[in-house]
Structures are given as C-alpha cells and as structure tokens.
Amino acid sequence: MKILITFFYLLIFHLQPTAQPVKAHGPLRVDGTKLVDKKGNAVVLRGMSFGWHNFWPRFYNPEAVKWLHTDWECTVVRAAMGVEPKNGYIEKPQESTAKVKAVVDAAIKEGIYVIIDWHSHNIHLNEAKKFFAEMAKAYGKYPNVIYEIFNEPDQESWKEVKDYSREVISTIRAIDPDNIILVGNPHWDQDIHTVADDPLTGFTNLMYTVHFYAATHKQQLRDRCDYALKKGIPIFISESAGMEASGNGPLNMDEWGKWIDWSEKNKVSWVTWSVSDKNETCSVLLPSAGSEGKWEEKDLRDSGKETRKLLRSYANKK
C-alpha cells in the first residue's frame, strides 16, 4: 500500500502543470534598481535568448518556446530579430516580424515573459520606430512583453544612443504606457558606468542592459555594474554566456559562476545566448537537435547542458 501511495504521489507531482510566471507576478515595473511584480516583490527573470531569427529561423516556433518553459524552466525568452544581415528586418520586414510574433504569441500562451529584441549594432531610427509601434499596438496590453530597443550599440556614443532611445521610447509609450523597456549602451552594452553618470530622464519602467561573456568580461565589468547600481541605475542582463565574447573558446565556469552569483545577489535578471546550432561554443544546441524542442542530452553542447542545469536549479527560487 505504501508503494502504491508513493507511486500516485509521484504521478500527480509529474502531471502538475509548469508554473506560469506571468500569472504569479503579473505586470512588472521598476522600483529603484529592482524589477518588481504586482505585489512589489523583487523578481529575477532567468531564461534563454533565441539566436538571430534570420540565421536560425527553424527554432522560432511555439513548440520550442514550450520546451524552454516546461523542460528548461525558463521564465523569460528573448526573440532576437536580426535587423541588417540577409533576410533581416531591413530586407524582409514582414517575414521578420512574423518570426518574432510566433515566439511572442507562444510565450503569452505559456504564461512566461518575452523580450522583443531589435537585434542590431547600428542606429536605424525610422525602421525601429515603425517596428516597435507595431509591436506595442499588438502586444502592449499583455504584461508578458518587454521591449529591447537596441541590442548592442557598438561604436555609437552614449549621446547618440540616448537620442535614438528617447524617440523609440516615446513611440512605444504613446501606445503602451507601462511595459518594461530595455535600453542598450555603447561598446556592446559594456558602458553602463557612462549611463550611470547621465541616464535618460522623463520616463518610467526603463532598465539598462549589460551583456557579459564570462571568459572575457570579468571583475572590471562587475565593478562598473556595482557603480551603476549604487547610482540607482536598474540593470537587466539580456544576453550572457560562459565563453569568450567571440562566442567561442572554452567555458570559464569560475567566472560564469561569479556572474550568476552577482546577478542573484543583486536581484538582476539574466538571459543566456543562444538557441541555435552553429558550430560554436555559445550555441546551446547541436545540429541533431529538432526544431521543435524535445532536446535530449545528446543534442546539447556543453553550454546547453550547463545553462539548462543552471536554469532548473533556480526554477523554484523567487
């Protein structure tokens, strides 16, 4: 009888639906340096970024989103819409938008948060305003949605990024007054200290992105982040991983662990790069991986195995 009771307990446990973060937390807002939920409690989102949609479109589907939620236990996914390369938004706006919408719609159905990422290294103001106006009209009523308006400015000055951001934010806010907006900064989201000395003003629910690749970006960047937090700048790590900034090289588990510990200590959300199958360290999947999830251990690169383990280990933490 005891064995039978244990069996039924385990069966019920495994049949329970995966928790829906949006149902639990509701609309998010920024309070000081923290991302907080409808009750004012600090929230740390943890998840995966899809690779460039124009290079790995096969993963932009509802089944892959569902798998990342239910098996990897992501509370957020990021749709990285390529802007400039072949088959990107500039060349094929309708097809590119459709790929993003497939991920956003699936995330809403799954009850997780989703980042709509303008994945560019250069300023395309008119195109960005048009795209985000469309996204805000379609999804502004959903608490799931987070807008990332400039993935990684490279050589632009902070003044140029600010001027661009001010216009794109104003475009979004005219339609969606309150969903979180993520703002990039120069040198691939490394200059958060510059933001701290001259932040945007006049807007609410803004956060600033920092991207780290642990084998390259170490204590110096964490020091910059600490400086920004002390000056009241809210940070969101919308892209990160354990190898070199090139996306290759060995995983630096020690530095990666330091970054995750730092993020958790400071209640900073973190997203890992990327759901793709390129022959590089930062692609979490091997070519054997199916397009629609259900990935087995043999389908994962080392970065995928470690990321999945990390996400699942934090799944029950607030």
What's the pLDDT at 258? 98
Average pLDDT over every residue of 24-33: 98
In a domain, 283, yes or no: yes
Range list of H helices, the chain: 2-15, 21-25, 62-70, 93-110, 125-139, 158-173, 186-189, 192-197, 219-230, 253-265, 302-313
CATH code of 197's domain: 3.20.20.80
Of the candidates 76, 152, 138, 83, which has an alpha carbon nearest to the alpha carbon of residue 107?
A: 76
Say which of 239, 244, 255, 306 is annotated catalytic: 239
Q: What is the pLDDT of residues 58-92, one digit of tens each?
A: 999 999 999 999 999 999 999 999 999 999 999 99
Q: Could you list the residue range(s) of the whole structural domain that residue 117 is in?
A: 19-313
Q: Within a domain: residue 83?
A: yes
Q: What's the pTM?
A: 0.94
The contacts found for 85-94 with CB under 8 angstroms, 24 or more apart, are 85/52, 85/54, 85/55, 86/54, 87/54, 87/57, 88/52, 88/53, 88/54, 89/127, 89/131, 90/124, 90/127, 92/54, 93/127, 93/131
pLDDT above 70 for 6:
no
The reported pLDDT for the residue numbered 1 is 47
Q: Average pLDDT of 155-166?
A: 98
Catalytic pick from 152, 156, 255, 306? Answer: 152
Q: Is the pLDDT of residue 8 over 60?
A: no
Q: What angle do CA 82, 175, 99 make, to 5 degrees?
A: 25
CA distances from 155 to 105, 178, 191 (A): 34, 30, 11
Instruction: Retrieve residue 288's tokens.
Output: 């054997």
Q: Is residue 12 part of a domain?
A: no
**Residue 177 included in any domain:** yes
pLDDT tens-digit map of 219-266 = 999 999 999 999 999 999 999 999 999 999 999 999 999 999 999 999
Under DSSP, is residue 48 helix (H, G, I), strand (E, B) or coil?
Answer: strand
CA 216 to chain centre: 20
Task: Count the neighbouring beta carbons within 10 Å of the beta carbon of residue 69.
Answer: 26
Q: What is the pLDDT of residues 275-303, one digit of tens each?
A: 999 999 999 999 999 999 999 999 999 99
Rounded to an integer, what distance in angstroms lies between the CA atom of residue 190 and that of residue 153?
10
**pLDDT of the residue at 185:** 98
Q: Is residue 11 part of a domain?
A: no
The total number of structural domains in the chain stands at 1
Distances, alpha carbon 9 to alpha carbons 2, 18, 44, 268, in Å? 11, 17, 30, 35
152 annotated active-site: yes
The mean predicted confidence, pLDDT, of the chain is 95
Query: Does residue 153 carry a pLDDT above 90?
Result: yes
pLDDT at 158 over 50: yes
Q: Does some domain include residue 87?
A: yes
Burial class (CB in 10 A: 0-12, 13-18, 19+), 287: exposed
Residue 26 pLDDT grade (very low, low, confident, very high; cuts 50, 70, 90): very high
Closest CA to 190 of 219, 225, 166, 160: 225
Please state, for a pLDDT cut of 90, what percent of the chain lies above it.
Answer: 93
Give the pLDDT score at 267: 98
Residue 316 has pLDDT above 80, yes or no: no
| The predicted structure's pLDDT at residue 2 | 44
Tell which residue, 77, 60, 49, has the closest CA to residue 241: 49
What percent of the chain lies above the pLDDT cut of 70? 94
**Amino acid at residue number 76:** V
Q: What angle do CA 314, 42, 49 make, to 5 degrees?
A: 50
Per-residue model confidence (pLDDT) at position 16: 44
| Structural domain contains residue 125 | yes
Q: What is the mean pLDDT of residues 34-40?
A: 98
Model confidence at 317, pLDDT cuts 50, 70, 90, reads low
* pLDDT given for residue 5 in this prediction: 41
Residue 13 located in a structural domain: no
- Region 112-136: mean pLDDT is 98
Question: Which two structure tokens, joined as six digits, stand for 296?
Answer: 């087995």
pLDDT in the model for residue 253: 98
pLDDT of residue 135: 98
